[in-house]
């Protein structure tokens, strides 16, 4: 029931924001001489300014309310956002597409369903007219209630030593508590045999847990939970989940189709996306694709720009093994593995599959993603955010990367990587939101790892085209 209420409230919040902007336009447009639908606001009334006369002001307020209800109904009707349909939507069925709630299906339309839609849209309009602030506060209350519900069945809630401790514990959500516990238990985790890295993820019942990746095939003496304390001393514990048979991730550098450097033609990767800086268009990929897996990019300035770039040294199998541009920028460090290729003007503009950037990658856990690799184009999930350093195999050497997005084909159970050799540099974007999330750097049999695209664009001072 909570999921359904959250879904309905979120949809009403979005629709109310749309309605408010349209209502504001007509409220300012309806000056003396302009009417709204002829009878709702007469030409003699000006809704853009307040009247000193109380009777006229009351009339103006009623006219604005009429505009609000009318616009809200039209928006609900055009999008077929029936309140009945929202509440009959099965949120428990993960295969259901929320897009079903909006839009018209004329093939199944009957006089009975049309009447039901009219009444449902009228009810939706009444709720939309309450305003976006109301629904914003309602969403905030629902999220807070969910957090309190989880705390009510948590033993730690009843072990508090003071009211201040209790207040802090109740106000901190489960995911934040898990992050704090992970930070406080770094030394404990590092001392565990076989554990190579850890991050905050979700269990099969969608509860935050600390994921411990072990190189052991099974067994091991691992804690079932990790204890932590908040600032005011409130103790609590976060459960752990052990994932066995972890492999050191490799760079995805096998034969591919999309991009390679002329001196490293045996190493192929994937073009991530087109970006621009100062009206110059670049293609983004991983720097290790162009170095042939070598950890260091040679002969660059402090910002990563090549001091003596070669001309037209980057090729693509998708362009009949012809040049597509010149390598201009490259940098590899613990947070970064990226390169920019200045596009050959003869190639023309590159069209990105998405054009909006997700600015908060760490907050997208359990969201469905699409990996646009050259070898693999597949859907999966963001299952974690790896803050600590982990080892990667770079052409026979080991290099550490940190603060990476962790992806897998499934959220629990049989975890499988979404990518393989040739997919380094692939764009990762949120499937439903159509927002760019990151760029694939490598992976193993269980996980695909990606660098947040927001970090890359900020460092290179480029924008997504």
pLDDT digits (tens, 9 = 90+) for 238-270: 999 999 999 888 766 543 347 888 888 788 899
Q: What 3-state DSSP class applies to 29?
A: helix
Q: pLDDT tens for residues 158-205?
A: 777 778 877 877 888 888 999 999 999 999 999 999 999 999 988 877
pLDDT for residue 31: 63
Predicted TM-score (pTM) of the model is 0.67
The whole-angstrom separation of Cα 390 and Cα 196 is 7
Q: CATH 2.40.10.10 in the chain, residues?
A: 354-464
The whole-angstrom separation of Cα 1 and Cα 14 is 20
* Ordered DSSP codes for 316-373: EGGGTTEEEEEEEEEEESSS-EEEEEEEPTTT-PPPPS--EE-S-GGG-TT-EEEEE-
Fold of 155-243: GMP Synthetase; Chain A, domain 3 (3.30.300)
Q: pLDDT tens for residues 42-83?
A: 666 777 778 888 888 888 888 888 888 888 999 989 888 888
CATH number of 252-343: 2.40.10
The whole-angstrom separation of Cα 426 and Cα 244 is 27
Q: What 3-state DSSP class applies to 308?
A: coil
Q: What mean pLDDT value characterizes the chain?
A: 85
CATH number of 354-464: 2.40.10.10
Q: If pLDDT is split at 50, 70 and 90, which confidence band does 97 have?
A: low
Q: CATH 3.30.300 in the chain, residues?
A: 155-243
- For 156, the token pair is 């730690």
Q: With the C-alpha atoms ordered 363, 368, 371, 372, is the resulting torsion angle positive or negative?
A: negative
Q: pLDDT tens for residues 337-364?
A: 999 999 876 555 678 899 999 988 888 9
């Amino acid at each position: 029931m909570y999921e359904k209420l959250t879904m309905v409230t979120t949809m009403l919040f979005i629709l109310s924001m749309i309605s408010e902007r349209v209502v504001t336009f007509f409220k300012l447009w309806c000056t003396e001489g302009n009417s709204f639908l002829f009878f709702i606001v007469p030409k003699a009334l000006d809704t853009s300014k307040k009247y000193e006369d109380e009777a006229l002001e009351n009339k103006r307020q009623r006219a604005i309310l009429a505009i609000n209800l009318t616009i809200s109904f039209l928006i609900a009707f055009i999008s077929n956002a029936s309140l009945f349909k929202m509440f009959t939507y099965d949120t428990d069925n993960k295969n259901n597409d929320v897009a079903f709630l909006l839009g018209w299906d004329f093939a199944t339309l009957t006089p009975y369903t049309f009447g039901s839609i009219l009444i449902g849209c009228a009810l939706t309009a009444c709720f939309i007219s309450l305003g976006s602030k109301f629904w914003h506060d309602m969403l905030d209350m629902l999220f807070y209630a969910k957090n309190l519900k989880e705390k009510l069945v948590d033993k730690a809630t009843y072990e508090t030593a003071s009211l201040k401790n209790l207040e802090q514990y109740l106000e901190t959500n489960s995911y934040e508590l898990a992050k704090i516990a992970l930070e406080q238990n770094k030394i404990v985790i590092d001392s565990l045999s076989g554990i190579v890295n850890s991050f905050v993820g979700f269990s099969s019942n969608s509860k935050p847990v600390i994921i411990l990746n072990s190189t052991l095939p099974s067994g091991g003496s691992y804690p079932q939970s990790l204890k932590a304390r908040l600032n005011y001393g409130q103790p609590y514990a976060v459960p752990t989940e052990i994932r066995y048979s972890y492999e050191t991730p490799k760079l995805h550098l096998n034969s591919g189709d999309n991009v390679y450097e002329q001196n490293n033609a045996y190493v192929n990767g994937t073009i991530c996306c087109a970006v621009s800086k100062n009206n110059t268009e670049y293609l983004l990929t991983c720097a290790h694709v162009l170095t042939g897996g070598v950890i260091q990019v040679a002969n660059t300035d402090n910002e990563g720009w090549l001091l003596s770039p070669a001309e037209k040294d980057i090729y693509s199998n998708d362009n009949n093994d012809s040049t597509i541009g010149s390598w201009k920028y490259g940098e590899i460090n613990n947070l970064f593995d990226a390169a920019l290729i200045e596009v050959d003007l003869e190639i023309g503009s590159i069209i990105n599959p998405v054009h909006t950037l997700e600015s908060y990658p760490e907050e997208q856990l359990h969201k469905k993603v699409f990996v646009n690799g050259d070898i693999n184009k597949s859907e999966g999930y963001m299952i974690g955010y790896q803050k600590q350093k982990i080892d990667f195999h770079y052409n026979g050497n080991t290099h550490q990367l940190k603060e990476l997005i962790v992806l897998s084909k499934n959220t629990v159970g049989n975890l499988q990587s979404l990518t393989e050799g040739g997919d380094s540099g692939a764009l990762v974007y949120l499937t439903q939101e159509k927002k760019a999330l990151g760029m694939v750097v490598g992976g193993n049999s269980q996980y695909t790892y990606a660098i947040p695209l927001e970090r890359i664009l900020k460092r290179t001072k480029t924008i997504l085209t």
